[in-house]
Amino acid sequence: MPVTSSVGKRPEGVLLLFEARFDRFFNALARNQEEFKHLPATPCASIPAHKIGSPALPYLYLRRGCPASHDAGGARVGAALAPGTACGHSPMVAVAAKACATCRFAYIRDRHSPQTNGMTYIDAAVAPLRKTGQIKIYGDNAFAAMRKAGRLVAECLDMLGPEIAPGAPTSRIDQLVFEFAMDHGALPATLMYRGYTKSTCTSVNHVVCHGIPNEKPLKDGDIVNVDVTLIVDGWHGDSSRMYGVGTIPRRAERLIEVTYEAMMRGIAAIRPGGTAGDIGEAIETFVKQHNMSVVRDFCGHGLGRLFHDEPNIVHVGRSGEGITLKPGMLFTVEPMINLGRPHVKVLSDGWTAVTRDRSLSAQFEHTVGVTETGVEIFTLSPKGLDKPHYESA
């Protein structure tokens, strides 16, 4: 989910380094993206791996012609990498890519042709593939595509259930999601998104969102949110659920119940002619009744062929305020609810958001579309596994 009010900018002209383990991913991208095919994928070690900076950021973006800076973590490197610089003993792979100011993958997909080039067939084909400052209204074909993407995400989250158990590290969850995506002709939307290098976000206990999968084993009593976004035929399905690890404490169970119910009440408030504030109010009032708090710093978002688009869907508010909901709008509802105070901070990895008071946090997310009569949820579990069943009573 995006930060509530700001959108980052990617510098013009970037060179990507990424790990060879993403080979399958880039092959999948190449199969999906005609315009990706011409880009070289040259093994490159003109920057030694140990100089690449934070191990949490195993690849970099370099400004072309800017020898000593990159925007992926503050580490400095000695020399600019020319696109296609060859060597062969590094675990990294370099890919020259075009700039993208606004959205994910564009630097790989080259979605955004330089302004100076005028219109090309790519521009015409992908004209909606950028933020336009307006809320896009989609038709039947988009709804059908979103149904397909949403269903695959739900099936992926269903698949994870039995895998999430004491001893399993979140990196295992990430690997399973990656494999699932590859096996189903989908792309994990978070991989390479704004410097993120995993196929999921896994947020454990007091982590609010954007937890980075790691090798630490989950332990009995943990709660974890797994957030999966898959791109299917170019369309994004985005959903997350809570999973209990073994037997969880009663207060964790209550938090999960309230969070799920809050999301569903938010979704139930959606109707054409209503407003985004209806969603926020439904969520906020319900959560307050249970003496829990709604996170303000992250919000739901429009999506479709973009991962994060207009409108922002804030999970607090007043009925009647905010944008008017219209048939054809696509967005997520993804409230983050804390047992304690609503405040969060982002750790130094630049992603992991945690509760400031270290209280437990939970989140559920569905992707929905506004219909003529109400709302359609695209990411419902075909098996009815939308919320966890508990081992404790």
Do 136 and 128 touch, CB atoms closer than 8 A?
A: yes
Extract the tokens encoding 147: 């149904």
Q: How far is the CB of 351 from Co ion (least distance, A)?
A: 13
Nearest CB to Co ion, comparing residues 14 and 191: 191
Please give the size of the binding site for Co ion, defined by CB under 5 A. Answer: 5
Answer yes or no: are the C-beta atoms of 378 and 236 closer than 8 Å.
no
Q: Which residues pair with 97 in a beta bridge?
A: 14
Cα gap 240→363, rounded to integer Å: 7
Is 92 within 8 Å of 19 (Cβ atoms)?
yes
Nearer to ligand MF3, 122 or 159 (CB): 159
DSSP single-letter state for residue 32 = H
Pick one of ligand MF3, Co ion, none as the site partner of residue 196 (Cβ within 5 to 8 A by kind).
ligand MF3
Interface with Co ion in residues 101-140 (CB under 5 A): none
Q: Amino acid identity of 55?
A: P
Token look-up 């959903």 returns 239
Q: Token pair of 216, please?
A: 């630490």
Choice between 94 and 333, CB closer to Co ion: 333
How many angstroms separate the Cα of 55 from the Cα of each of 51, 175, 190, 246? 10, 18, 18, 31
Shortest Cβ distance from residue 67 to ligand MF3 (Å)?
28
Q: How far is the CB of 196 from ligand MF3 (least distance, A)?
A: 3
Residues 208 and 363: beta-carbon distance below 8 Å: yes
Identity of the residue, 17 or 330, whose beta carbon is nearer to Co ion in the bound complex: 330
Q: Compare residues 47 and 306 and give the one whose CB is closer to ligand MF3.
A: 306
Contacts of 18 (CB under 8 A, 6+ apart): 26, 58, 59, 92, 93, 95, 192, 197
- Which partner, Co ion, ligand MF3, none, binds residue 193 by CB below 5 to 8 Å per kind? ligand MF3
DSSP state letter for 343? -
Kindly tell me the number of DSSP H helices and DSSP E strands found in the chain.
Answer: 7, 19
Q: Which secondary-structure segment (H or E) carries 126? A: helix 121-126
The CB-of-371 to ligand MF3 minimum distance in angstroms stands at: 22
| C-beta closer to ligand MF3: residue 22 or 351 | 351
Q: Which residues are 227's β-sheet partners?
A: 201, 240
Residues 219-248 that bind Co ion (CB under 5 A): 227, 238
Contact partner, 210, from Co ion, ligand MF3, none, Cβ < 5-8 Å per class: ligand MF3
Binding track over 331-370 against Co ion, x by CB under 5 A: -x--------------------------------x-----
The residue among 44 and 264 lying less far from ligand MF3, judged by its C-beta, is: 264
* Contact residues for ligand MF3, defined by CB under 6 A: 1, 190, 193-194, 196, 201, 210, 227, 229, 238, 301, 332, 334, 351, 365
What angle is formed at CA 99 by the lines to CA 94 and CA 103, rounded to 5 degrees? 105
In the complex, what is the shortest distance from the CB of residue 157 to Co ion, in angstroms, rounded to a whole number? 11
φ/ψ (deg, to 5) at 297: -75, -15
What gap in Å lies between CA 145 and CA 148, rounded to an integer? 5
Q: Is 1 in the site for Co ion (CB under 5 A)?
A: yes
Task: Show the site string, 244-273: x = touches Co ion by CB under 5 A, - = not.
Answer: ------------------------------
What, of ligand MF3, Co ion, none, does residue 190 touch, CB below 5 to 8 Å by kind? ligand MF3
Min separation Cβ 197 and Co ion, Å: 16
Of 1 and 164, the one with the shorter C-beta distance to Co ion is 1
Task: Please give the residue ranges that form the binding site for Co ion (CB under 5 A).
Answer: 1, 227, 238, 332, 365
